[in-house]
Amino acid sequence: MTRRRFGAEDSQTRRALLDAAAQIMLEEGYAAATSRRVAARAGVKPALVHYYFRTMDDLYLALFRRGAEANLRRQEKALAADRPLQHLWEFGNDPDSTALMAEFIALANHRKTIKAELLAYAERFRTIQIKAVTELLNRYGVDTTAFHPAAATVILTSISRILAIEVGLGLTAGHAETIELVERFLHGIEPPRTGDADAPTDDHPTAEDRPTARGPAERE
Amino acid sequence: MTRRRFGAEDSQTRRALLDAAAQIMLEEGYAAATSRRVAARAGVKPALVHYYFRTMDDLYLALFRRGAEANLRRQEKALAADRPLQHLWEFGNDPDSTALMAEFIALANHRKTIKAELLAYAERFRTIQIKAVTELLNRYGVDTTAFHPAAATVILTSISRILAIEVGLGLTAGHAETIELVERFLHGIEPPRTGDADAPTDDHPTAEDRPTARGPAERE
DNA sequence: GTCTATACTTCGATAGAC
DNA sequence: GTCTATCGAAGTATAGAC
């Protein structure tokens, strides 16, 4: 058989293909991110996709890893910042990364390699979170026997993620009340430093401020 | 053009096709629920799919509606039961309906008709929930100025749903602690009647008790 | 690195026989 | 109501010219 070649990691075209795939997945779902359409969006021919990525699974995996690494770095920064809990709460509210993650969860449902990768990442992510929150709550003097740090972590990120998903769908009933309650709670154990310009903004965007629809292109 | 015919609502074959589609979506994701494979699983020929459902979108829509109606009836019963909050909490823990819903959310991302239907259903669902929880908290004497019923509803169902999704993925870190905290909280405002055989079970299945994989049958 | 050309598969959907 | 047969479109992937 003929020896196949594969493109370098730092290629400009490779990056363009990953960007194109991410955009399509966000706008139309993972099923729409086919080799032909990814190539078209990146402005190249379909064969190039298979030059840089042997299979479509390889492309999905590469895209996932790129986002996962970025997320881990983002979280690391958030946890080291001024008000870590507030940052952790806002973290899951990023619509794009949350929506992309939802697509990968759906993908994982029937792609073994994606599922394994997703699980490994999620566990790593959560372990870091729980460790950081544990130290934080102790430092804040919260009674962690009644309010376990692991539970706090799961609850905070769960709410954050569901809200993001629902906003993407156009559902906002109960959101304002939820955000108000969570932020009041957070302020109670992690008070914002008043008059600190670098602190995270207090007027967290409410559901009403956000666009109701996420992607531009619906299906024709 | 030739006049097309369509099968009756109460057909046995129609039901078999919907069941087959649901199974495939659960086990391998919505993208795998193609006309050919749904037909094969139902034991009929692909053309029959288009006899009962004009397009695949029609099939997805019919499947969604069937599940949505069942969910609404289930919730109605749960809210009228002995310990409504506990039931509401356990409701989202049903792995199958939660996983199916996740698939439809992904589907909605690039199918306009699904998205509209999903949104309408979700709003209806949540409105009923919030209304019921509002009455409940008032009856229980909870201070609803500090703890808004809408927020309580969103938070409880969010946690429930994320846990179900994560269990499907194989991620359980922090689950036991979360379940413990939520149930302790619920017991505080809605105490279980001791010695009542009909009351919901107290030993709620923890993450460890649940199977790590969701679907029964893998692909042959 | 990027292209053309192509092989092979699977998809959705329809027409028309039975 | 269910089938066979078939269409055109779109998918993944590869070989080989440039």
Chain A residues 55-74 with Cβ under 7 Å of strand D are 55-57
What is the number of CB-based contacts under 8 A between chain A and chain B? 152
* CA separation for the pair A131, A124 (Å, rounded): 11
Q: What pLDDT is recorded for position A1?
A: 43
CB contact under 8 A, A155 and B27: no
Q: Which residue of B has its CA nearest to A110?
A: B28
Pick from A28, A118, A154: CB nearest B178 = A154
How high is the pLDDT of residue A9? 82
Q: Which residue has the tokens 């994560």?
A: B166
Residues shown for chain A:
220
Residue B55 CA to nucleotide D11 C1', Å? Answer: 19
pLDDT over 80 (residue B43): yes
| Mean pLDDT calculated for residue range B51-71 | 95
Query: Which nt has its C1' nearest the CA of B13?
Result: D1
Residue A63 CA, nucleotide C6 C1', distance (Å): 29
pTM, entire model: 0.87
User: Quick one: pLDDT at residue A205?
Assistant: 52
Q: What is the pLDDT of residues A59-109, one digit of tens each?
A: 999 999 999 999 999 999 999 999 999 999 997 767 788 888 888 988 887
The yes-or-no verdict on residue A199 having pLDDT over 90 is: no
**Strand D close to B8 by CB, under 7 A:** yes
Are residues A154 and B174, on separate chains, in Cβ contact within 8 Å?
yes
Q: A95-108 and A149-169 are packed helices; what angle lies between their axes, rounded to 10 degrees?
A: 100
Rounded to the nearest integer, the mean pLDDT of chain B is: 86
The per-residue pLDDT for range A109-159, each reduced to its tens digit, is 778 899 999 999 999 999 999 999 999 999 999 999 989 999 999 999 999
Contact residues, chain B, for A164 at CB < 8 Å: none
